[in-house]
Every structure is written in structure tokens, then in C-alpha cells.
Structure 1
Amino acid sequence: MKLRKIYNARIVTPAKVIPNGSILIRGNKIVGIEEGNIEAAGAEEWDAHGNYVMPGFIDIHVHGGGGHDFMDGEEEGFLKIAQTHLQYGTTAMLPTTLTSDKAGILQTVQCYQRAAAKNKTGAQFLGMHLEGPYFSMEQRGAQNPEYIRNPDPAEYEEITKTAAGAIKRWSAAPELPGANEFARYLVKQGILPSLAHTDAIYEEALEGFKNGYTLATHLYSGMSGVTRRNAFRYAGVIETAFLLDEMDVEIIADGKHLPAALLKLIYKIKGPGRIALITDAMRGAAMPEGESILGNKQSGMKVIVEDGVAKLPDRTAFAGSVATANELVRNMVNLAEVPVHEAVQMLTSTPARIVGVENRKGRLTEGMDADITICDGAFNVQAVMVMGEFLYEKL
């Protein structure tokens, strides 16, 4: 197997940044990491020129990019999205759906299965994330209300059977009738339930957590905070996520959905070990601003991309992110004032743990997959390696 060495690197680990280190890769695995220059006779050498060398970014919530959306149900689109986000440092992702009818979900799942077998030049697919359709109408955000409904055992059992293990996580509102039964079913199938587009109060969210909803989907977006009912105050899902130390959260750190103050607050309370940075990107990511479509290109919602975010046509609300993974790290460092190694942790080892691949991805240590992203000091991507092969090089 090919032996390759990356040297003259600022290596980012979960604990610190090694100012001048090197990594040795044999085949698709990391076999050595040291300060200084590793002696490796016969290795193909690659000079990192003092850039940051970090684990490949893992985006566990992404809908599209480069003009494509996973809900289009096109194999080429799946592959183009993976190639687009690879150029911004993402080496692994969970393709994500939007609320749809059963036929639309099944079509997307089946397309995923075909595309996954052909995906050789983009970010790896780790499984699907189904976002919806079991949501609160009051917290639907840009999700199509026509398809929002309560969990139906016949429906979700058919979908999981058809998916044949391809589904990694499923977002739903825990307060809905049958939602906790749904969560228990998912856990038995090895699928992670997550809280999303929910109007639950603390007691309902806590019950959901006990039944398996251990991740909060895009914290603050599409979820309840403190509310009043008959003059009494009730904590919502946001407060529940803060109160439960064991609950993981994901955040859209595009600098639009959450301002710097909220990024700092979430970081202060949850810490890098419980936060996963996500793009939540729609088809407008890595595309010029202007008119776009959220969801299926034939039946999706018309939106406008401007000011670095997708908005409803009347500009009353956001309608998706156009972020790329490297922007998330840049914003956490520059806006939230988080140390580089912790910002990177939130896009590597933490999401790897959340989706159960921490034994092979998310850290630059011996025995791990050689998924590597190399960025300059401003977090512009210079090169990306997936399973020991450079699939993108700018240097």
C-alpha cells in the first residue's frame, strides 16, 4: 500500500494545535503522527506549507449545494453535492431530506442507495438524515405544511425497511401523538432520533429525551423557548437542551441563523464535546446569490439567496443556509472567539461520536481513516484527502 507523509503542518488535535508536525499514511489509514518531521524511507512527501492540517469535516445535516438538492431524487445531484462540499473541507456527510409525502421520501432513500455505490470523488455518505415529516405545524419554519403529519407506524416501518440500514438519524417533534413510540422504534433499528421543528415544553422534551431524542436539531431554529400558558411560564426545548448535560446540539454557525452572542452562549453552556456544527446547506451553497428553490426543483419552495442566507420571498424568515463547512469553523473562531482546536472538534470528533463513527473518523490519530482537510490561517481550503487519496488540491 502507498506510503504518504504530510509534513510542515500545524496539526489540529482535540486537545491542541501541534505547531510543526507530520502525519504518516499507509493506504487509507493514519499510521503515525509526531511533532517535527517523521522519518519515513520511501514515503511520498507532501509539504503542508505551515497550513492547518485537521480531520476531515463531518456535516451531519446538509440538504444540497452547487445547484442541487437531495430531494431532487437524482443520482447525479447526489454526487455533485458531495463533490461541491468536498471542496470546502467536508469529507463525510449525512444527506438530508425535507418534509415530503411518503413517495418522495422513498424516492430519495432509493436514490441515496444507488448514488452511495457510485460516490468515489466527493464527500463520503455516512447514511441518511430524514428531517420530517413528523413536525409541529407551529414550528414548521420553511418546511412544507402540506406534508406535516403525526408519526404513522405503518409509514415509518415501510420507510426503514426500504432503506435497508441506510438511515442514520431521523428528526421529529417529540410532543406529537406517537412520537415517543416512534423514537423507541428508531433506537431499536440503530437510528438516532433527534428533536426538531418542535413546540414542546420542558416536560415533553424531557420525556422525549428519555425515549431516545438525545440530539437537538439546529438549536434555536424551529423550536420552542420559554412560553406562557394560562399565565404560567414553561421552559421550552431550547432550555431543555441547556439543562440536560447529556443532550447534544447542532448549530448552524453561518453567522446569520445565530448571531455571535448566541454562538458564545451555546459554546459556554454546552462546550465543544456536545456541539456539532452543521451547514444545513440548501442548493444555493457555493452558487451565486439570487432566486433559488428549497427542496425538490419541481415542487419545492421558491426562495431568494441574499446576504449570505436563503430567505422566504417576502423576506420575513430564513429559508435555509448556504454555508460551507470551512465557514463554520471560521465563524466559531472569529465570531464566537473559540480556540481553533475546539472549533474543529465541533465539526469532526463530536459529530463523529453523535453518529457512531468515532472509532474510525473525526480524529488524526493512528488507526483512523485518512480523511484530512488542510486550510490556511483564514480557513480557506487548500487540499482535501478522503481515505488516503487527495481528491482536491489547491496548493
Structure 2
Amino acid sequence: MSVKVLKHATIYTGDDIIDDGFVRFDDKILAVGSMDDFKNYPGDEVILATGKTIIPGFIDVHSHGGYGFDAMDGNPDEIDAMVKKMTQNEGITTYFATTMTQSNANIEKAMRGVKEAADRNPVIKGVHLEGPFISAKYKGAQPEEYIKDPDPKLLDHWNELAGGLVKLITYAPEDDHAKEFEDYCLAHNIVPAVGHSNATREQLLTSKASHATHLYNAQREFKHREPGVTGHVMLENNMYAELIMDGFHIVPDMLQLAFDQKGPERVELVTDSMRSKGMPEGESELGGQKVFVKDKQARLADGTLAGSVLEFPDAFKNAMKFTDADLYDAVLMSSVNQANEFGLESKGGIAVGKDADLNLIDNAANLLETYSYGRHFVRNAD
């Protein structure tokens, strides 16, 4: 791969802001700094990036699908094609394929399919198992007939099928079987995430959950006599909280409250997108259930929100639209925090030795171009 240099750009590295800088890279970042320190090397492809801002590539740890495909289908060709679309159209350079509550056979198929797709596509860095070890009371759009008690042996089997890719699991910590399950997760570098849960604050204080799946949504809500899941996550400073910033799942005032309480270092933007993302409005599908997409909302027949059709660049811009977050904060929430939480040492920043995962945005924070491992993508190009 030839060496490229982007120069005369504003650079948000994840640690710092360089007002007039350059990035030199092949598949890895070779140099980054101020134009005062820039050196020409023969053979480099030099690209003028005046008026553009370079930020780290986006990391989505909760996304079921998009562009007509879903990770649960277990088709490696389709998963690979879907993730390539996400990279080109959304600047997602690290992806956790997300499952849902389904039969054992369907989850096994998904694990095999994701592993095979990840063997081809290095953007796929993990699996997020959303269920089936959840609460029926807060199942949301998860089919109740497949809900199970937490089972470390079953999780171990699925993780083995996925080649050890399971990095995050959404479960209900209030279940009597949760303690052994949590111990398994921590021993295998799987982050336990409270979600689709009816847990009380008292129950959560003795749990090992360190992450909250789509804060506010499908969980015991905050009340004045019982903080519930939402209140617990707000009160525990070290917990990471996902937020779906589409303006539908959570109203802007409540997004601001979460941002104020958690701070930009503990919020992670996610899409929770489903197969109908990037597709025309109309009827779609999620876990064998009919879903109806209209006005950028995806709902079951009974009106329940069913994932989203949110694209990551919109989540990124909405973070600054719906809260007091500035661009530096949005970079933390879209990439840096995810890399820190999941130990993705080569991701989540622009520094020598990290993967050349770069997004170029304009002055209005619109995504223009993406480099993933140094490979160039222009947004929405055919």
C-alpha cells in the first residue's frame, strides 16, 4: 500500500487538537503533527485537506444490520457486504455485529457467519450478544419465547463458535443465575451490560455490570423511590452508557441530562440499527417480526420501537445538536470511549502505530470521506 499524506487539516486526535496539521499513513499511522514539523518524503501521495477536519473512524458496538442485511441471518457474504456499506456510507471503521434474542440454532448460525465474515473483513472486531438472557418485562422488540436464564456454558459455546469474538453481552443482572455468568464474562474479557432489565438499584450494586445497553430504553426506569437501571447508571460514574441519539428513542432533554450526569468520557454513541437502515421506507423484519419504517422510525405493529434506522454520521451530529457536547466531546463519544472500554488499542485515536482509520468532515460536521486501514472511501459514492 502506498503512503499517503493528508495535510493542512484540523486534526482531532482523540487526545488533542491540531489546528494546521498533517497525517502520514499506509494501513497504519506513520506520523501526525503540526505543519511546522511536516517533512516531504519521495513517493508519498500528498493530499491537500484544507478546510477539512480529520477525526478517528467511528466505532459502533451496537448495530444489528443495515442495507437489507442483518447479522442474525448468519450469511458471511451479506455481513461482509453490509459492513463495507457501513464503512463507506457511515465512516464506521470498527464494528460489533449485534445479535438478538432468538433460538439457539439461529444464534449459532449467526456466530458462525460473523466469524467467517470477520476473517475477511477486519472492520468486524467483535460480537455484541443482545439477549437472550434478559427480562421478559422489558423485552422491547425481543421475542419473549426465546428468553432464557443466564447460562455460562451456553455463552461459552457461542463464543467458541464466534472464534472468541464475543466482547459485549446484554443481560438482566437481577436473575438468580447471573453471578456465575458475570464471572465467566470477566474471565473471558466480555463486558457485562445491563439492558432489557427489571433490576433495582440494590440488585445492581452487587452486580458486575459495567456498561448500559441503550440507556433509558427497555429497562426499569428512574423513579423517586427506586432509581432502577437508569438511575443506577446515572449514579455510577465508572459505568459506560450507550445512547441512541436519533431524537425518537430519547427526547433531547433527556439526552442532555445523561450527558450532564455521565460526562463525555462515559457516553457511547450507538445506532442500534436494523436491516432497514439505508433502505426505502415500508415493511421490514426484525427477528421474524414485521417492522414498519416511516419518518426515520422503525416500529413493531403494536407501536414498539424496534431498533433504529439511524446512521452513525447523524448520531455524531445529533450529539452536538441535542446536547452541549462540542466536537471534541463527540469524538470521545463516537470512538475514543469505545476503544478504551474494549481494549481496542489500535483504534479510537490518531497516533503513530494505530490503524489508519480516519474520517474527514466539513465545517458543519458532515462526513465526507473515510480511510479504513488506509483504504479510501467517499461517502455515498457508487
Q: What is the CA deviation profile of residues 276-326 of structure 1, one whole-angstrom value per residue up to 9, with x for unaligned ones?
A: 10011101111111111113xxxx1111111212112232x2111111111
Distance 2:160 2:28 in 1: 33
User: In the alignment, is the contact (CA less than 8 A) between 1:202 and 1:236 conserved in 2?
Assistant: yes
- Where does residue 3 of structure 1 map in the other structure? 3
- TM-score, normalised with respect to structure 1: 0.91
Partners of 1:46 and 1:263 lie apart in 2 by 38
Aligned to 2:33: 34
- Say if 2:109 is the partner of 1:101: no
- Secondary structure class of the residue paired with 1:318: coil
1-structure distance, mates of 2:371, 2:23: 12
Q: Percent identity?
A: 34
| Partners of 1:67 and 1:284 within 8 A in 2 | yes
Report the secondary structure of 1:78's partner residue.
helix
The alpha-carbon deviation at position 225 of structure 1 amounts to 1.8
- Measured after TM superposition, the shift of residue 40 of structure 1 is 2.1
Aligned length: 378
Residues of 1 paired with 2:92 and 2:157: CA distance? 31
- 2:191 maps to which residue? 192
How far apart are the structure 1 equivalents of 2:161 and 2:41? 49
Specify the SS of the correspondent of 1:234.
Answer: coil
Residue 55 of structure 2 corresponds to residue 54 of structure 1: yes
Report what 2:215 is aligned to: 219
2:312 matched to 1:313?
no
Q: Indicate conservation of the 8 Å contact 1:84/1:286, yes or no.
A: no
The superposition leaves residues 103-132 of structure 1 with CA deviations (integer Å, 9 ceiling, x where unpaired) of 111110001111112227xxx001111110
TM value normalised by structure 2: 0.94
Counterpart contact for 2:6–2:48, Cα < 8 Å: yes
Structure 2 counterparts to residues 317-356 of structure 1, below 5 A: 317-356=304-343
Match of 1:255 among 221, 232, 247: 247
User: Are 1:14 and 1:342, in contact at CA under 8 Å, matched by a contact in 2?
Assistant: no
- Give the equivalent residue in structure 1 for 2:368: 382
Deviations 1:106-165 (A, max 9, x none): 110001111112227xxx001111110011111000001111121234422322333331
- For residue 202 of structure 1, report the CA deviation from its aligned partner: 0.1
| Consecutive unaligned residues in structure 1, runs of 5 or more | none
One of 206, 221, 228 as aligned partner of 1:236: 228
1:71-103 per-residue CA deviation (whole Å, 9 max, x = no partner) reads 111112201220221121111110000101111
Contact 1:272 1:342 survives alignment (8 Å): yes
Say whether the 8 Å CA contact 1:106–1:162 is kept in structure 2.
yes
2:93 maps to which of 72, 91, 94: 91
- Residues 361-384 of structure 1 deviation map (CA, whole Å, 9 limit, x = unaligned): 101122211100112233332111
Report if the CA contact (8 A) 2:14-2:56 is conserved. Answer: no
1:227 offset after TM fit, Å? 5.1
SS at match of 2:4: strand
Give the match for residue 371 of structure 1. Answer: 357
Q: How many angstroms apart in 2 are the aligned matches of 1:33 and 1:179?
A: 45
